[in-house]
């Protein structure tokens, strides 16, 4: 094991991912992380595991739970792939847009019902194709369009007007807030809400509790086939299976979320949130047991300055330090873990180093 002792989450030890240009330290990016079991107990940490963090799109599996519990998936014949797109920050590839449009059609809705806006794709190849076609992205091309389509369907399943489904006071969003609070194990006054980039409410909560949410989702996948699992356990397991079974829909070609879940082949789920947030749920295995965790574990990470590439490097390093995965699995993420810094001529001008240690709490 490479983890080391840490006195207390109240006495955080700073940690950084550092970028070097030649022999010069160019930037230091501060890392915070919490690793918990399915009860929410912190086991390991970096920096401040209690940092209150906007989960942004890392909240999507919890938001999807609220939609699932409306009965919308059964009412509108949504399948597991549709559920995966509800949890996605997709790259706006043709398969993503086609599925989002199909979801709207199943619920007798149209793109005009979406309350998100269009934006450049998270994929450079998709952007280049749009430029060649002289196509301006509309709401369906928003990376969160699957979540919005699901929430529209959820509003209809509740018998509520879909018009204001994005407002925090809407019955659907009230179900979302309750689902997030319950999964996090927090009272309502301990979860803050702000408007996300896609125009929906997003929760802010301590990293410990975000990690706990993902640990509970992974734990549900472990226990769903035991005798008489609760409806919520079955719903959470369904979300885990949807994401792990359709990683290409959760992200897209070349994206970290997709590569991570494809590499681990059903052992974990992972989801990025904008501005430097990431969360992972890992099913129980020999890897979790060697860490002293009998069941599933959750990991939540925040990069203080919001850098996404640095975030992926830190997440991969944490998996290395916790020794989650085979050497081959971990090596397959090396392009994210130790990204080369190149200039416009393609010359390698720098590298990334990890100057933090995951510590037992």
The percentage of the chain sitting over the pLDDT mark of 70, rounded to a whole number, equals 97
Nearest residue to 91 via CA among 59, 54, 128, 56: 128
Beta bridge pairs of residue 138: none
Question: Rounded to two decimals, what is the model's pTM?
Answer: 0.95
At residue 225, the pLDDT reads 79
Domain assignment of residue 10, yes or no: no
Domain assignment of residue 6, yes or no: no
What is the tens place of the pLDDT at every residue in 164-182?
Answer: 999 999 999 999 999 999 9
What is the tens place of the pLDDT at every residue in 200-255?
Answer: 999 999 999 999 999 999 999 999 778 789 999 999 999 999 999 999 999 999 99
What's the mean per-residue pLDDT of the chain?
95
Domain assignment of residue 20, yes or no: no
Q: How far is CA 24 from the centre of its chain?
A: 33
Q: What is the mean pLDDT of residues 339-359?
A: 96
Domain assignment of residue 281, yes or no: yes
Domain assignment of residue 15, yes or no: no
At residue 150, the pLDDT reads 98
Domain total in the chain? 1
Domain assignment of residue 217, yes or no: yes
Q: Which domain holds residue 292?
A: 29-360
Q: What is the mean pLDDT of residues 173-198?
A: 97
What is the tens place of the pLDDT at every residue in 306-333?
Answer: 999 999 999 999 999 999 999 999 999 9
What is the rounded radius of gyration, in angstroms, for the C-alpha atoms of the chain? 20
Tokens of 124: 């450079």
The string of DSSP letters for 90-129 reads: ----HHHHHHHHHHHHHTT--GGG--------S-HHHHHH
At residue 3, the pLDDT reads 56
Q: What is the mean pLDDT of residues 5-11?
A: 50
Nearest residue to 323 via CA among 353, 293, 361, 355: 293
* Distances in whole angstroms, Cα of residue 189 to Cα of each of 183, 211, 221, 288, 339: 15, 19, 29, 32, 40
Query: What CATH number is given to the structural domain containing 303?
Result: 3.40.710
At residue 7, the pLDDT reads 41
Q: Is the pLDDT of residue 11 over 70?
A: no
What is the tens place of the pLDDT at every residue in 251-279?
Answer: 999 999 999 999 999 999 999 999 999 99
Domain assignment of residue 88, yes or no: yes
Q: Are 89 and 57 in contact (CB under 8 A)?
A: yes
Domain assignment of residue 5, yes or no: no
């Amino acid at each position: 094991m490479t983890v080391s002792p840490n006195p207390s989450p109240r006495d955080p030890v700073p940690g950084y991912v550092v970028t070097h240009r030649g022999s010069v330290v160019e930037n230091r990016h501060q890392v915070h992380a919490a690793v918990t079991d399915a009860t929410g107990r912190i086991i390991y940490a970096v920096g401040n595991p209690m940092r209150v963090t906007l989960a942004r799109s890392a909240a999507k599996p919890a938001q999807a739970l609220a939609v699932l519990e409306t009965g919308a998936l059964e009412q509108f014949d949504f399948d597991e792939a549709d559920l995966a797109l509800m949890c996605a920050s997709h790259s706006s590839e043709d398969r993503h847009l086609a599925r989002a449009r199909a979801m709207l059609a199943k619920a007798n809705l149209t793109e005009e019902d979406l309350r998100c806006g269009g934006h450049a794709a998270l994929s450079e190849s998709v952007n280049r194709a749009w430029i060649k076609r002289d196509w301006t992205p509309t709401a369906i091309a928003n990376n969160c369009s699957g979540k919005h389509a699901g929430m529209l369907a959820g509003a209809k399943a509740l018998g509520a007007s879909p018009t204001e489904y994005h407002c925090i006071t809407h019955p659907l969003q009230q179900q979302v807030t309750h689902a997030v609070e319950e999964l996090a194990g927090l009272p309502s006054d301990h979860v803050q809400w702000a408007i996300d980039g896609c125009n929906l409410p997003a929760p802010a909560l301590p990293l410990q509790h975000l990690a706990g949410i993902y640990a509970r989702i992974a734990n549900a996948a472990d226990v769903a086939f035991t005798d008489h699992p609760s409806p919520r356990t079955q719903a959470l397991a369904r979300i885990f299976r949807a994401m792990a079974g359709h990683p290409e829909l959760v992200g897209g070609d070349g994206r970290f979320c997709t590569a991570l879940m494809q590499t681990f082949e059903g052992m974990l789920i992972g989801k990025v949130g904008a501005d430097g947030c990431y969360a992972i749920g890992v099913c129980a295995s020999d890897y979790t047991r060697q860490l002293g965790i009998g069941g599933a574990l959750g990991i939540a990470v925040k990069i203080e300055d919001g850098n996404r590439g640095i975030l992926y490097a830190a997440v991969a390093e944490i998996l290395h330090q916790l020794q989650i995965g085979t050497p081959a699995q971990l090596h397959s993420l090396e392009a994210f873990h130790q990204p080369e810094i190149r200039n416009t001529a393609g010359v390698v001008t720098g590298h990334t180093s990890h100057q933090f240690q995951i510590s037992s709490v």
